[in-house]
Structure formats: structure tokens, C-alpha cells
Amino acid sequence: MKILLPIDGSPAALAAVRHALQLRQGGLLASYVLVNVQEPATLYEVVVTHDTDKLTEIKRGAGSDLLAPAEALLDDADADYESEVAGGEPATLLVELVENYGADAVFMGASGMAEPGADGLGSVALSLLRHSPVPVTVVRAAEPGPDALTAGIDMADVAAAR
């Protein structure tokens, strides 16, 4: 099974990678395709940069940086994967990438770095749910519990500060 994993740098995207790896530990034979889609350059970016090749290079670097944590998770699990930084409208391009890679499924975060939409789903997740030719699993990032709020804080220091 080949699973497409859209990565945008959000906690939800990494939760989707962890979910895919949990299924693999449970016996699912899978390979993965990590993709980061960089949106088209804005007019402002083009005017300021004056060099479309340089702008493409910057966006490719940004996409590679966003893929790095997901690649590290897959490397640690010794999973088979490939990565791509693509440029275009994310909702449309992800459907094309599903078809280009012959993916059997998509695992993605419920909402990305932008403001979530209806039911806590981002616009890209909603669009992919509507238009994907393969099943889409939407994964929410774990809510931080009370322990996460105080992790790494020495409570004696807190008491002393009072």
C-alpha cells in the first residue's frame, strides 16, 4: 500500500505520519510519499524578488525544511518513503499527486498552519475529502493535556516566584 502524506509543518500533519507508522507497526505493509505543496508566488513576492528562479529556490528550501521532521520520523522507523516539494494550489495539486504516485490512500492532518474551517477541518482537508479518488484519513493533533502544559517546568521555581 502506498500512502500519501501531505506535510505543511503543522502538528496535525506530524500526527498523521505517526498514525501511519502505528498502522505499520500493527502489520500494514506500506510505503509513503511525503509531499509539501508551496503555494504559487504572490505578486508582492515576484515584485520584490525580481528573480523567479530565486523565488522557486527559496520556496523549495522552505518546503524541504517543513518535510524534515516527517522524514526524521520515517527514518527512525526505517520506513520506505520518497519526498517531493511541489508548487501550486494545494487542494488541486494533492489530487494530482495522488494519481501521479499511484497512492492507495491519503493520511493528512485535520487542519494545517492556517485557520481551521468547518468542524475544525482546514480548507485543504475539506477539498481533498470531496475530490480525492482514494480514501482520505484525517488525523487530529493530540490536545495538550495538563501535564504538557507543565512539562519541563520546575514547580519549585513557580512556587518561589510567587
The β-bridge partners of 85 are 36
The fraction of the chain above a pLDDT of 90, given in percent, is: 61
In tens, the pLDDT along 1-29 reads 999 999 999 999 999 999 999 999 999 99
User: CATH homologous superfamily for 2-161?
Assistant: HUPs (3.40.50.620)
| Per-residue pLDDT at 50 exceeds 90 | no
Strand order in the sheet with 105-109: 81-87, 31-38, 2-6, 105-109, 136-139
Phi, psi at 26, each rounded to 5°: -80, 0
The domain limits of the chain are 2-161
Whole-angstrom distance, CA of residue 17 vs CA of residue 152: 25
pTM of the model: 0.80
